[in-house]
Structure 1
């Protein structure tokens, strides 16, 4: 997802001055929506020392008896914290843990770029394990549901393979799958969309990149991701209606956070080239935990066909793949009710030891 949020940032720039009053009304309404007053509920946000720096963690849910869901956000460098009002219904059925990784969101704002320490996939992986251990201790649970989004699913898959003792299930959405560059279908589909739309400038920019992502710089990855997302109408719409609008109306965020979002995406871009040689098939398709992928039907960036093929090869106690209709990238947040329906029908029965769905 690197760089694609920046492409739409101008969409809100023009009306900012005239909409501050409306924004404040919506922020107050969302703050009311987010209030949790159930006797067995939890609503905690704050900084926890993870990997040697202060990192922001939110723990919210209406009933501590519910399964715990830990999100690994994407980007890299993009936070899910602003999506709270959109996903409020999730907290009736799960205790939702959101974490701003180093280089992102409130963690970045806390100590600035110079205070983020090492930025690498290995470091984010170690942080994620430490966050999971913190959550297990804080909530007194043995395992949590690991839910990974977009670039976060690169880390999520590795966590699911290597530490199944920590997780009751893996759920990927906007599932990013790497195969050492063998599959070029998304690239060819992008070129076709640009030709059909007559976008000659973007077409030339993509053609200049070449077809081997392993040779791209972080800036070139960013260019490719921006053009990919903005060329697909559903994903471009989600950038404005979900990503930027959620941040604009979030009761937890101010105007400065738009700059933090851009800074985080740019700062974290440096880790993307690390994935050039990754191969999820070679790394292993055997998972010792229930395994689910719920993908946007029209996702241009993490194509559903590739995700479906990977799930078909997965060996797991329980596995399932489902499409979220009429969705591009950001599918879980564009249609949070549809995502919740899948979680309740397929995942929650498994992690609460009710009758599981049939293994496939």
Structure 2
């Protein structure tokens, strides 16, 4: 009996430690290096910002993660940490995302405009703190949309922008994604997928039927089948490996993983009520930018279909523009082909500096 009680106590203690464990970041030991965790008051919301690099004199690289609400800090630290050799890398959990999520955040503040203002605040902070004229901006998925807004509004702040899995056109992007998924379901004779996809029907004006009622979840189901049929990740049909990467990250605890899920659901579930979020069309809204732009897509990306990104590059006016296709990636080349991605980021910066 005593052994059983002791065993239960040890297990409870262990899981309690895992759940509430303090997080840290590995110290960079170079004389001019930086490795610090911050909670900055960005536009009246405390937000998590991790800054790491071997030399604070290196250029600033700010990464805008996807979602909204899908922090990439843990994955970037695992797959892309070598960029810290050449850049002061800024890992930011956006408003309501990851370690920035709080029960005090309101639904009303989940707006595109607030996120844009948060980017502007953070860029000004970084420029002033590190005495830099410009920031090298990289955005993934939702973050790629934020990045385009940022460089359009304040081009003087940025040396260049790299969009990964670039969001561009709500209606055409979703329509291409839907038809790809339907085609794969037909090829495989997958009755359940066919039934669900045919019932929801193709998206109308960028979203599915009854967007503000059941349509949001219709979109979720479409993305579920897209992942299963290879249009989201290259040769993978789940995110289990990435979930474990977040859990076992030095910078994240199990409690943070729970917070991650809450923040992601909260952000995605409320941003759809912002009119500025829906029905975007960068072909009309952003036809010209005044900074060099690079777009990296995966050949298996039918979340933000790569063909549409290539078309946009041909359409866009910019000092320099380039479309780069990763042959063994889906929607996230930054994590699916990290060595190639890190090499491209270095090449791009060497081109523009």
TM-score band, normalised by shorter chain? 0.7 to 0.9
Secondary structure of residue in 1 paired with 2:247:
helix
Cα distance in 2 between the residues matched to 1:291 and 1:40: 30
Question: How many pairs are equivalent?
Answer: 323
Cα distance in 1 between the residues matched to 2:179 and 2:120: 36
1:81 has 2:81 as partner: no
In the TM superposition, residue 263 of structure 1 has moved relative to its aligned partner by 1.0
Cα distance in 2 between the residues matched to 1:127 and 1:44: 20
C-alpha change, 1:191 and 1:322, in structure 2 (3 Å) is same
In the TM superposition, residue 42 of structure 1 has moved relative to its aligned partner by 1.0
CA contact (8 A) 2:173 2:303 kept: no
C-alpha change, 1:301 and 1:113, in structure 2 (3 Å) is farther
In the TM superposition, residue 308 of structure 1 has moved relative to its aligned partner by 0.7
What is residue 324 of structure 2 aligned with on the other side? 322
Cα distance in 1 between the residues matched to 2:92 and 2:63: 7
Cα distance in 2 between the residues matched to 1:318 and 1:103: 34
Cα distance in 2 between the residues matched to 1:72 and 1:191: 31
What is residue 91 of structure 1 aligned with on the other side? 84
2:132 aligned to which of 132, 135, 141? 141
In the TM superposition, residue 313 of structure 1 has moved relative to its aligned partner by 1.2
CA contact (8 A) 2:227 2:238 kept: no
C-alpha change, 1:338 and 1:226, in structure 2 (3 Å) is same
1:61 has 2:56 as partner: no
| 255-264 vs 143-152, greater mean Cα deviation | 255-264
Cα distance in 1 between the residues matched to 2:267 and 2:292: 30
1:335 aligned to which of 330, 337, 341? 337
Secondary structure of residue in 1 paired with 2:55:
coil
2:297 aligned to which of 295, 298, 303? 295
Cα distance in 2 between the residues matched to 1:97 and 1:235: 30
Secondary structure of residue in 1 paired with 2:58:
coil
CA contact (8 A) 1:229 1:235 kept: no
Secondary structure of residue in 2 paired with 1:43:
strand
C-alpha change, 1:191 and 1:201, in structure 2 (3 Å) is same
Q: In the TM superposition, what whole-angstrom CA distance separates every residue of 1:63-121 from its partner, at most 9, and x where no partner exists?
A: 2222211111101111011120221111111111111111110010xx32546761111
The equivalences for 1:30-179 within 5 A come to 34-83=26-75, 84-108=77-101, 111-112=102-103, 114=105, 118-178=109-169
What is residue 239 of structure 1 aligned with on the other side? 239
Unaligned ranges ≥5, structure 2: 1-10
In the TM superposition, residue 227 of structure 1 has moved relative to its aligned partner by 2.6
C-alpha change, 1:129 and 1:169, in structure 2 (3 Å) is same
Q: In the TM superposition, what whole-angstrom CA distance separates every residue of 1:180-201 from its partner, at most 9, and x where no partner exists?
A: 4487222111111122233322
CA contact (8 A) 1:238 1:330 kept: no
What's the TM-score, normalizing by structure 2? Answer: 0.84
Secondary structure of residue in 2 paired with 1:170:
strand
Cα distance in 2 between the residues matched to 1:156 and 1:292: 12
What's the TM-score, normalizing by structure 1? Answer: 0.83
| 265-274 vs 60-69, greater mean Cα deviation | 265-274
What is residue 355 of structure 1 aligned with on the other side? none
C-alpha change, 1:221 and 1:170, in structure 2 (3 Å) is same
Tell me which structure has the larger Cα radius of gyration.
Answer: 2
Unaligned ranges ≥5, structure 1: 1-16, 353-360
Q: In the TM superposition, what whole-angstrom CA distance separates every residue of 1:35-64 from its partner, at most 9, and x where no partner exists?
A: 411111111111000011101111111122
What is residue 358 of structure 1 aligned with on the other side? none
The equivalences for 1:9-28 within 5 A come to none
2:190 aligned to which of 190, 199, 204? 199
Q: CA RMSD in A?
A: 2.5
CA contact (8 A) 1:178 1:278 kept: yes
C-alpha change, 1:202 and 1:238, in structure 2 (3 Å) is closer
Cα distance in 2 between the residues matched to 1:235 and 1:135: 38
C-alpha change, 1:187 and 1:113, in structure 2 (3 Å) is farther
Cα distance in 2 between the residues matched to 1:263 and 1:236: 24
| 34-43 vs 162-171, greater mean Cα deviation | 34-43
Cα distance in 1 between the residues matched to 2:100 and 2:294: 29
